[in-house]
Amino acid sequence: MSDSAEPQQPPAVQSQPKLPEVDSPPAEEVLDSVPSTDEVVKEARNVDEIVREQPTVDDLVGRDRSSQLSRSPRKPHDE
């Protein structure tokens, strides 16, 4: 019988493939075009303003919400 108490070695993992060389601008040039933190903060917008600009689900699917509300059954009020 073979020695089954020894843990089995996992299969060898292949090394990562070499990435191709690409032409890229120098890091300094890229970083020079990035706005400063102050500029980003100055241009920032309020989240409520951004959300108000987004279409509603009803707008996206083309439903008229007012006609849907008038056809929906009303729930009786708790007394």
d(Cα 62, Cα 55) in Å, to the nearest integer?
Answer: 11
Residue 79 — very low, low, confident or very high, per pLDDT cuts 50/70/90? Answer: very low
The boundaries of the domain holding residue 63 are 45-71
Domain count, the chain: 1
Residue 50 — very low, low, confident or very high, per pLDDT cuts 50/70/90? Answer: very high
Q: Is residue 28 part of a domain?
A: no
d(Cα 73, Cα 70) in Å, to the nearest integer?
Answer: 8
Q: Is residue 55 part of a domain?
A: yes
What's the mean pLDDT when you consider all of the chain?
Answer: 81
Q: Is residue 67 part of a domain?
A: yes
Q: Is residue 16 part of a domain?
A: no
d(Cα 7, Cα 38) in Å, to the nearest integer?
Answer: 57
Q: Is residue 57 part of a domain?
A: yes
